[in-house]
Structure 1
Amino acid sequence: MIVESLTVWITAKIATKAFGFLVETIISKDFVKDLVKDYAKDFFKSIFNNAVTAPFKREPLQKAEVMALAEFVQLMQEDLEYGGFSKDYIKNYTQSIKHFIDNPEVKQILGSAFKHDCQAIDTNKLQQIWRHQLNRSDDFNWKTIGKKYLQKVKEIILEVDELREILNSHNLQEIVNHTKETAGIIPQFDLEKYQEAIRERYGNLKLDNLDTTGYAYNELKLWKIFIAQNVKEANQVLPQVHELPKEHLRRLRESNQLEAEVEEEELERHKRVYFEQAIRSVLDIVNEKRTYKYIVILGDPGSGKSTLLQFLALNWANSPLDNVISLRIPLLIELRTYMRRREDKECHNFLEFFHKCSGAISHLNQHQLHEQLLAGRALVMFDGLDEVFDPGKREDVITDIHRFTNEYPNVQVIVTSRVIGYKAQRLRDAEFRHFILQDLEAEQIQDFIKCWHDLTFKDEADKLRKRERLERGIATSESIAELAGNPLLLTMMAILNRNQELPRDRAELYNQASRVLLHQWDVERALIEDKRLDPKTIDYKDKQGMLRQVAYDMQTSEKGLAGNLISASDLEKILTDYLKTIEFDKPREAAKVMINQLRTRNFMLCFLGADYYAFVHRTFLEYFCAWEFVWQFEKTRSLTIEGLKSEVFGKHWQDETWHEVLQLIVGMIEPKFAGEIIEYLIKLDGEEEDFINLFLAVKCLVEVRNRSVIASTADKLVKELKDRAIADNDEDVRRAAVEALVSNFKDDPDTLPWLKDRAIADNNEDVRCAAVQALASNFKDDPDTLPWLKDRAIADNN
């Protein structure tokens, strides 16, 4: 009955308003019927804390929602018409607009216009939803639509008397609440509302910075995909122990260059104690709240520190309400936000922050919260101590945390921070124990990949194919495997794997990973805070440009890539010279800030002691080095194809430490030029080096996305490998040629018969063995493989 009356009412309204065809098509009887089911809960969510259940209140709100949506759709149509689009073209928008206005977030934004003090709606968010979630081009003037829509809402409020009464009543209550809040009292300690706020803030994985395609990950709830990492306890947090790669620690120690901040014997003792620590699940540590009451969780960027705290909060938020009363309430405070509110004099302590500040997840009455904390019925989590950049302010936060633990001694407290730049003494004095997050182990990586694909893909065959492809990419590439232990970078791999094949497309992975690491934790704030410096933005592209030149400089040094080593003075000069090219004020001072940021924030460089730096991950050194050669070849044209062949590949094909860089170069340039390089490698005389030139050529061919462009080159390479497999005097070369052929040319119809021939006819038993092994592992799905293997097992005399 309600549906019928509402439909009659809206039909009459639409008729009198002379709306366009989009409104008539979208605001249909079925649309109204679906709307009645939730009686405007989503639409008026930002105004009413709880669902409006009284029937006499529902109908006015439903009328208001339908009218507002109709007006908004009409404004979208008018905007398209103003843009010169024809009626037939505009009809193509019907389904997208219908899905758009049915989106709960969109409804909530449009409903916010009914607030008594609303001056503007969030058109930026509307634009983002339209472009990314619906994957539509941006054809609308959103700000203009937003302004016109606000005016239409005012007309609707004046038109519907019952609606005006409801809103006025609500506004009066808001004034009462505000008055009480000013007096220091917030009337609610609503745990159900707090649960909902936690789910809304942290429930979905935050993938906006990782995935720019607009692909929807609606099913990826954080608590479903969370993998509990392992930790080791760190009795001493020392850069010499936790920052230095082992190879550099050994090299510097042997040459007596290690900094003398800690006696070597003492340093070795700390290293031994840390590495001998038992590995435990971080959740086991958190759950032993009597033993581990005060905890600091340390980790690298993207290692999962914040995700851990969000998971702990979500565990509580997803518990049934009748159980929540007996559970510890999670209080998650993002310290960067807290400090901003504290500096603005909005609050003086953590309780006031939760009581009234805009950055809190949800407001909780501080008097009741105080009682909960005294009784120990809370888990308090301070996230991102390292996000408080100013050292003096960071000390203030630590003082606040220490004071908090003294005031509420029965509460378990967790603090997170990055390892680099962290000073442990003050919190250790406050009886905090320190744990360092470990990289994901192979089994944990497998669990994540399985969970990710189960939640992301509906089609079983597609799910299995892409999951196995990612697992294979990590297993077969040391460079990719090195990064996969970091949860942030592993998530990025899972996203890219949807449309790209690793490891062949790993250059794109490294590009996206560096973009996120260099952009997500930006340098601009540090430049602004240093009053001597020009606060000009240095974006991630500039930082990529600097790192290309740093890697190139390392590559041209005496030690070359094997060194992964650069002096502080050389590093500072490279960055200074780059900053001069973009007309940066005081480039030398800015370069010093940049070095610190690339080390402490961006997870790219690490300090080795003795005034030397290195790339944290060798993978990025190789990638940026390759990219610099490609940049010179394609952008600045300072390197020709002949120079690339002779000066880069010609000089370094015999050095296996260069092979990853050379392969990346081939994968990053156009196939026709890649073909020229592969032809160049084939023609080299590699007999004295066990034909390493041919095996490098095979690896380079694998990097080429479109092999059909260089089919004749691939044929030449196959012929060369077959010649080596049959006629070479060295058994190791023959075995390697067989394995290279089968693993890289499996789809060639000539490969399988040729392989069987080698397995039977080759006069060398090692080559026959290699052929049998290659056939068993690469053609196991062929129905003829098993009978053929049985025959070999009987007939071969070896």
Structure 2
Amino acid sequence: MTQPSPNPQTSFIEQIKKLVQDTLLSWGLPGAGVGLTVHFGLQGNWGGAIVSLLGTAILTFLLKFFTKLDPRLDALAEWSVSQVEQFALLLWWSVTGQFQGKYYQTLIYRLRDFRVQGLKTKGSFSLDLQKVFVPLRVAPESADRVPSDLIQTLIQARENNKLGIWDFLAVLPQQPSFRRMVILGPPGSGKSTLLEHLALSYAQNSRQPTHQRVPRLIPILLYLRDVQEAIATDSPPTLAALMDQQESLQELRRSPHWFETRLKQGRCLVMLDGLDEVADPHRRQQVSQWCDRQIQRYPTTPFILTSRPFGYRSAPLMQVGMLLEILPFDLKQMQQFIQNWYLQNEIMRGLGRDDRGVRHHAEQQSRDLIKRIQYSPAIAAMALNPLLLTMIATVHCYRGALPGRRVELYAEICDVLLGRRQEAKGLPDKLTALQKRSVLQVLALNRMRKESSDFTLLQGSLLIQKKLVAVAGDRVSPEEFLRQVENISGLLLEKESGKYAFAHKSFQEYLASAQIKESQQELLLARHIDNPWWEETTRLYAAQSDASYLIWTALQKGTVETLTLAYDCLEESLSVEDGKVRKELEERLEQGLEAIDPAIFKLAAEVKLQRRLHKLLRIDDRTEIDMGYVSCAEYQLFVDEKRLSGENYQPQYWTGDRFPPGTANQAIVGVRASDAKAFCEWLTQHSSTLGETYLEGEAAVFMGEFRFRLPTLDEVQQHSGAVSISCWCWDGDRVVTHGIKSRDLWYDQKRDPQRTDKIPAWDGIRIVRYIC
């Protein structure tokens, strides 16, 4: 039976209805309102149609309004949160009492800015301490002091890198011995900032959510260097009397004995900062004894004292219950600090505006600095120290000095540590930073000549005596000078009893390079051009001078090591005035990679491989990844060596024993999974040396033997290479390719040389170096 033909008029109407429906759907809610209006009109409900039309018009206006408003919503939300915070603070102060609220307000005004004393390159704005601060890790100096029922809890927290000062404050009610804590740390480790963070957190009632068990306490923060004169008298004041004398509190009305009452009730947290900054040894003893008396006077009140190790050991407290050490930053803390610092800096640069544009720019800047630090092991070692990391971030932001001009970074850091930081703190100094640096340069160069970092106090004194007399006369003895550099600047450290060294070998190398430049001893570096001990000093010298002669010397030696160093000097040099030297070096590598002569090719390819290994990206405390892909020339080294033992690893698309002409610098592709794994095993044996060691407290960067492997899938996804090709990587216990569909691959486990119908063109090799 035939179907009736459709009514043309009905068909047309249906088409119109469908068109209208589709249009209204694309319009969203306004479209639905229009549709409802039309519906009411067709039904003859003109009142409903008018109401619907007005509602649709208002809705359309609101949608457009909020579309225009959307870019401003982030800033509006941020402002709203800020107002809520301010209201909460006012409410908190009113609840805590009139004087206590005003006292908290003075603390906030005094401590809210993130400060770095003495830094010459400063930002244009003050940053919010609480928003920049990254929680520091602390650890008991000895497990003997930790109660047995807390050992497992603290060990677990430390293994998770989460053991901080709040963990110890949280157990104060159960562990009375924790009421007397001493926190030790090297210069710039963040001791003062930690106490300021605690005082602010209590004043703002903003303790960490994960530590709600921390008792509510009234913070008292005193800098011992500022109150030492009042303490070191025949009749020193009590802690409560000293607080009553504080100038910032004189205008605030309070009941008599307000501090005394609360101290005796155990309602305060007393923080005494910088025992080591009391310079005179006798006065330091007096201050230490005064601290002990206050602890005895207020036995239920928790006390925290901070010091550098030397200052505390020369005047220890008798009443201490827990001795803690501040641990260096790990990689995650370093990254978090840089992100916080740049975000706050950009917000202040934008006059308080916090929107997606500001955050995007801050993210770009922080990502760039993190990458530069990760690519430079020497700078990464310094970035473990919060003060040095702040200096690195400041210089990066306002000078763009990383990494190529890192000599400027070293110069600024030395200037800060040797002079301006003491000036900013008001500490006395007999020599200028420049005078002290000139003396240390002599010491550093001598240690380089002896191929040693360590020296005794007597050795150091004899080495610097002549230079010290030249710049200071008899104002300071050599022994006193070395102890001051150690105790105040932190550029020297007493590694063990009687043995000293520069805080980082990079400082020794930089100061030695500066001395070589000043004394015009370039020939010294030329004589040691093939000695690995002098490599970094040579690079740093080249960054301050014309590197032509050093590059020419390296070319004459013509080894893998010297040519690698020559290329580094070329990249970092202040200048290379001899154009012939520059051209010869560049041709030696580029032409050598395509050379038919096996010896010339091998030398050029080895140089390229070594330079790759010098530029791996640090992704955590034990692992570095190659951001590029192994080239044909580097893979050829592996193929040639394995062929001598009867193994064949060349890709099947090669028509001969070598890569196709003109592809030396191109990424190797068409490699099987088994070949990629074998390459990593070969590279481990080929580079069987110890990794560089950088120690900072208990943290070690790239220490011990290392191995090479393929990256994991997560590592590849998080650290994508510059070339858009696939590479082999581990996914669990399987080796897979990332960046190519499986149907585009073929596997030939039996190595059938006749199979050339489908060649995988995009599976290359990236490498990871890790500490065993």
Provide the TM-score with structure 2 as the length reference: 0.61
Task: Tell me what 1:330 maps to.
Answer: 219
Q: Which amino acid aligns with 2:336?
A: D
Structure 1's 432 and 523: CA in aligned 2 closer, same or farther, altered over 3 A? farther
- Does the CA-based 8 Å contact 2:117-2:421 persist in structure 1? no
Task: Tell me what 2:259 maps to.
Answer: 369
Query: Larger deviation: 623-632 or 727-736?
Result: 727-736
Structure 2 portions without partners, runs of 5+ = 1-89, 91-96, 145-153, 348-357, 616-627, 636-652, 671-710, 727-738, 746-757, 766-772
Paired with 2:463 and 2:311, the residues of 1 have a C-alpha distance of 24
1:234 aligned onto 2:141: yes
1:517 aligned onto 2:417: yes
Q: Report the Cα offset of residue 730 of structure 1.
A: 8.5
1:721 aligned onto 2:589: yes
Instruction: After TM superposition, list the pairs within 5 Å mapping 1:238-637 onto structure 2.
Output: 280-290=163-173, 291=175, 292-319=178-205, 327-343=216-232, 348-358=237-247, 367-423=257-313, 427=317, 429-457=318-346, 459=358, 462-498=361-397, 499-520=399-420, 522=422, 537-557=430-450, 560=451, 563-582=452-471, 584=473, 586=474, 590-607=477-494, 611-633=498-520
Q: Deviations over 1:389-421 (max 9, x none)?
A: 233322322222222222222211101010124
Paired with 1:500 and 1:713, the residues of 2 have a C-alpha distance of 29
Greater strand content: 2
1:224 aligned onto 2:131: yes
Q: Which amino acid aligns with 1:551?
A: A
Q: Report the Cα offset of residue 439 of structure 1.
A: 0.5
- Does the CA-based 8 Å contact 2:288-2:315 persist in structure 1? no
Q: Which amino acid aligns with 1:204?
A: D
Q: Report the Cα offset of residue 500 of structure 1.
A: 1.8
Q: Report the Cα offset of residue 792 of structure 1.
A: 6.9
Paired with 1:313 and 1:792, the residues of 2 have a C-alpha distance of 66
Structure 1 portions without partners, runs of 5+ = 1-49, 51-187, 238-272, 529-535, 634-638, 746-751
Q: Deviations over 1:605-643 (max 9, x none)?
A: 23356754321221111111111011123xxxxx4xxxx
- Determine helix, strand or coil for the equivalent of 2:196: helix
Task: Tell me what 1:677 maps to.
Answer: 550
After superposition, the CA RMSD in angstroms is 4.4
- Determine helix, strand or coil for the equivalent of 1:210: coil
- Determine helix, strand or coil for the equivalent of 2:430: coil
- Determine helix, strand or coil for the equivalent of 1:435: strand
Task: Tell me what 2:680 maps to.
Answer: none
- Does the CA-based 8 Å contact 2:447-2:453 persist in structure 1? yes
Q: Report the Cα offset of residue 779 of structure 1.
A: 9.3
Which of 757, 760, 772 lines up with 2:667 in the alignment? 772
1:667 aligned onto 2:543: yes
- Does the CA-based 8 Å contact 1:725-1:737 persist in structure 2? no
Which of 629, 653, 662 lines up with 2:529 in the alignment? 653
Task: Tell me what 2:37 maps to.
Answer: none
Task: Tell me what 2:73 maps to.
Answer: none
Q: Report the Cα offset of residue 462 of structure 1.
A: 4.4
Which of 188, 193, 202 lines up with 2:111 in the alignment? 202
- Determine helix, strand or coil for the equivalent of 2:542: helix
- Does the CA-based 8 Å contact 1:450-1:467 persist in structure 2? yes
- Determine helix, strand or coil for the equivalent of 2:222: strand
Q: Which amino acid aligns with 1:595?
A: L
- Does the CA-based 8 Å contact 1:385-1:416 persist in structure 2? yes
Paired with 2:293 and 2:455, the residues of 1 have a C-alpha distance of 43
- Determine helix, strand or coil for the equivalent of 1:330: strand
Q: Deviations over 1:211-260 (max 9, x none)?
A: 435x3133x211111111112211399xxxxxxxxxxxxxxxxxxxxxxx
- Determine helix, strand or coil for the equivalent of 2:205: coil
Paired with 2:298 and 2:489, the residues of 1 have a C-alpha distance of 36
Q: Report the Cα offset of residue 481 of structure 1.
A: 1.4
Q: Which amino acid aligns with 1:448?
A: F
Structure 1's 698 and 286: CA in aligned 2 closer, same or farther, altered over 3 A? farther
- Does the CA-based 8 Å contact 1:739-1:771 persist in structure 2? no
- Does the CA-based 8 Å contact 2:542-2:569 persist in structure 1? yes
Q: Report the Cα offset of residue 666 of structure 1.
A: 0.5
Q: Which amino acid aligns with 2:341?
A: W
- Does the CA-based 8 Å contact 2:593-2:633 persist in structure 1? no
Q: Report the Cα offset of residue 286 of structure 1.
A: 2.9
Paired with 1:472 and 1:418, the residues of 2 have a C-alpha distance of 31
Q: Which amino acid aligns with 2:527?
A: K
Provide the TM-score with structure 1 as the length reference: 0.59
Q: Report the Cα offset of residue 191 of structure 1.
A: 2.1
Structure 1's 380 and 713: CA in aligned 2 closer, same or farther, altered over 3 A? same
Q: Which amino acid aligns with 1:314?
A: L
Paired with 2:192 and 2:259, the residues of 1 have a C-alpha distance of 23
Instruction: After TM superposition, list the pairs within 5 Å mapping 1:32-43 onto structure 2.
Output: none
Q: Report the Cα offset of residue 773 of structure 1.
A: 6.5
- Determine helix, strand or coil for the equivalent of 1:793: coil
Paired with 2:266 and 2:468, the residues of 1 have a C-alpha distance of 53
- Does the CA-based 8 Å contact 1:198-1:361 persist in structure 2? no
Q: Which amino acid aligns with 2:101?
A: E
- Determine helix, strand or coil for the equivalent of 2:305: strand
Q: Report the Cα offset of residue 663 of structure 1.
A: 0.3
- Does the CA-based 8 Å contact 2:117-2:425 persist in structure 1? no
Query: Larger deviation: 344-353 or 293-302?
Result: 344-353
Q: Deviations over 1:289-343 (max 9, x none)?
A: 232221100000110001000000111222389x9xx931100011111212334
- Does the CA-based 8 Å contact 1:742-1:774 persist in structure 2? no
Q: Which amino acid aligns with 2:417?
A: L
Task: Tell me what 1:67 maps to.
Answer: none
Instruction: After TM superposition, list the pairs within 5 Å mapping 1:781-796 onto structure 2.
Output: 781=722, 793-794=760-761
Question: Which one has the largest radius of gyration?
Answer: 2
Q: Report the Cα offset of residue 475 of structure 1.
A: 1.4
Q: Which amino acid aligns with 1:437?
A: I
Q: Report the Cα offset of residue 385 of structure 1.
A: 1.1
- Determine helix, strand or coil for the equivalent of 1:296: strand
Q: What is the aligned residue count?
A: 533
- Does the CA-based 8 Å contact 1:522-1:539 persist in structure 2? no
Paired with 1:787 and 1:712, the residues of 2 have a C-alpha distance of 45
Task: Tell me what 1:19 maps to.
Answer: none
Structure 1's 744 and 525: CA in aligned 2 closer, same or farther, altered over 3 A? closer
Which of 101, 121, 124 lines up with 1:192 in the alignment? 101
Q: Which amino acid aligns with 1:506?
A: R
Paired with 2:407 and 2:316, the residues of 1 have a C-alpha distance of 43
Q: Which amino acid aligns with 1:477?
A: S
Structure 1's 351 and 783: CA in aligned 2 closer, same or farther, altered over 3 A? same
- Determine helix, strand or coil for the equivalent of 1:517: helix
- Does the CA-based 8 Å contact 2:455-2:500 persist in structure 1? yes
Q: Which amino acid aligns with 2:570?
A: L
Q: Deviations over 1:562-591 (max 9, x none)?
A: x1123433421343312322352x35x522
Greater helix content: 1
Structure 1's 797 and 196: CA in aligned 2 closer, same or farther, altered over 3 A? closer
Paired with 1:327 and 1:470, the residues of 2 have a C-alpha distance of 39
Structure 1's 277 and 712: CA in aligned 2 closer, same or farther, altered over 3 A? same
- Determine helix, strand or coil for the equivalent of 1:295: strand
Q: Which amino acid aligns with 2:485?
A: L
Structure 1's 300 and 285: CA in aligned 2 closer, same or farther, altered over 3 A? same
